[in-house]
């Protein structure tokens, strides 16, 4: 076994060298940064202890970014509901979908956040875009989506939901496929209607899948960046500045406050780690039947 010992380390060395330099070490560096005030040109650090964090908690702009993040997450969860609804409505086993069907439904999976931003910026455009034209067909005077304080966040969230929908439908269909069809048959024989079957069989047995989708989508929506950067640049005002965007702006746009930005990044990371951890535990316990 001793020969295996030494060569094993050589096999794992490249992976751990990269992760060590660009993941593990930066976690510590980030923690240290968050406890310092970094002069704008990054060449001087002043120890401030938890100063960045206390400043953050007292900053109304910080709570605004939290509000934006939470609202965006809520919208994304609605998106999960839509995707699961589509999957249940169809409940077509995936292998029976034709190539064309699969392509049309799942294609957003391969679209980047930047391209999604560009495509939707066109759709939201009040002159050449389609959304307000379609709304006008049903007699609605559409808002100026991206320049409106009250609609910009909705516009960004719709884009994020769109980019996720292919992934969500795939996962939901895969989950549905795991459910034994004989259960439906038995229920049908016992006289259960469609709604009863969905409520009493589909949803309970789909719980692990729903749970997984929920966690993944929450994490993804908390990390939304590209769509915001291209659609609104965090505006108008700070109406679409979520926590990630605030980290980016504070660290890289104009005068940089890397210590302050790192404190926000750390809070975001703790939030995401906690949520991921809940997922691991949930899977360990096998979330069934709610």
Partner 1 sequence: MSVVGESVDGAVVVGEREIVSKPGRSLVREWPVQVILLVIGFVISLPIIIAVLMSFTPLREIVGRANPQFFPDQWTFENYRTAWTATPFFRFMINSAIQTGVITIFQVVFSILAAYAFAMFSFRGKGFLFGLLIASLMIPFELTFIPNFIMVSNLGWANTYQGLTVPFLASAFGVFMFRQFFMSVPRDLYEAAKIDGASDWFYLWRIMVPLSKGAVAAFGIFSFLGAWNQFLWPLIITNEESMRTAQIGIRFFLINQERATDWGAIMAGSAIVMVPTLLAFLVAQKQLVKGIAASGLKG
- Among positions 189-208, residues that touch partner 1 (CB under 8 A) are 189
In the complex, the smallest distance separating the C-beta of residue 116 from partner 1, rounded to whole angstroms, is 8
CA distance 202 to 204: 6
203 burial class (0-12, 13-18, 19+ CB within 10 angstroms)?
Answer: middle
CA distance 108 to 131: 18
In the complex, the smallest distance separating the C-beta of residue 222 from partner 1, rounded to whole angstroms, is 8
Q: Does 39 bind partner 1 (CB under 8 A)?
A: no
- Among positions 125-164, residues that touch partner 1 (CB under 8 A) are 125, 127-130, 133, 162
Pairing of strands 36-38, 45-47: antiparallel
Q: Does 252 bind partner 1 (CB under 8 A)?
A: yes
Q: Does 44 bind partner 1 (CB under 8 A)?
A: no
CA distance 215 to 76: 11
Q: Does 272 bind partner 1 (CB under 8 A)?
A: yes
Q: CA triplet 205, 163, 27: central angle to 5 degrees?
A: 90
CA distance 268 to 41: 24
- Closer CB to partner 1, residue 49 or residue 284? 284
Cβ atoms of 93 and 177 closer than 8 Å: yes
In the complex, the smallest distance separating the C-beta of residue 72 from partner 1, rounded to whole angstroms, is 15
Q: Does 93 bind partner 1 (CB under 8 A)?
A: yes
| From candidates 115, 187, 192, 198, binder to partner 1 by CB under 8 A | 115
In the complex, the smallest distance separating the C-beta of residue 239 from partner 1, rounded to whole angstroms, is 18
| From candidates 79, 108, 143, 234, binder to partner 1 by CB under 8 A | 108
Cβ atoms of 259 and 33 closer than 8 Å: yes
CA distance 242 to 237: 12
Q: Does 79 bind partner 1 (CB under 8 A)?
A: no
Interface with partner 1: number of residues (CB under 8 A): 112
Q: Does 66 bind partner 1 (CB under 8 A)?
A: no
């Amino acid at each position: 076994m001793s020969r295996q010992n030494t060569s094993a380390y050589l096999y794992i060395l490249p992976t751990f060298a990269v992760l060590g330099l660009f993941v593990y070490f930066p976690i510590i560096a980030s923690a240290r940064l968050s406890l310092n005030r970094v002069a704008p040109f990054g060449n001087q650090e002043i120890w401030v202890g938890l100063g960045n964090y206390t400043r953050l908690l007292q900053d109304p702009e910080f709570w605004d970014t939290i509000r934006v993040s939470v609202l965006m997450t809520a919208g994304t969860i609605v998106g999960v509901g839509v995707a699961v609804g589509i999957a249940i409505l169809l409940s077509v086993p995936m292998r029976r979908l034709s190539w064309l069907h699969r392509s049309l439904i799942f294609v957003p999976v391969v679209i980047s956040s930047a391209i999604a931003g560009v495509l939707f910026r066109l759709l939201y455009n009040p002159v050449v875009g389609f959304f307000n034209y379609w709304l006008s067909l049903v007699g609605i005077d559409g808002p100026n989506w991206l320049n409106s304080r009250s609609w910009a966040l909705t516009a960004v969230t719709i884009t994020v939901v769109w980019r996720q929908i292919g992934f969500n439908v795939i996962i939901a269909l895969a989950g549905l496929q795991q459910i034994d069809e004989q259960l439906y048959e038995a229920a049908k024989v016992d006289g259960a209607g469609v709604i009863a079957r969905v409520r009493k069989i589909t949803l309970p047995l789909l719980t692990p899948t729903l749970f997984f989708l929920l966690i993944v989508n929450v994490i993804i929506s908390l990390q939304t960046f590209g769509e915001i950067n291209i659609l609104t640049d965090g505006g108008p005002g700070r109406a679409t500045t979520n926590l990630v965007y605030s980290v980016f702006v504070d660290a890289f746009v104009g005068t940089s406050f890397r210590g302050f930005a790192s404190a926000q990044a750390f809070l975001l990371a703790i939030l995401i780690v906690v949520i991921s951890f809940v997922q691991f535990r949930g899977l360990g316990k096998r979330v069934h039947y709610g």
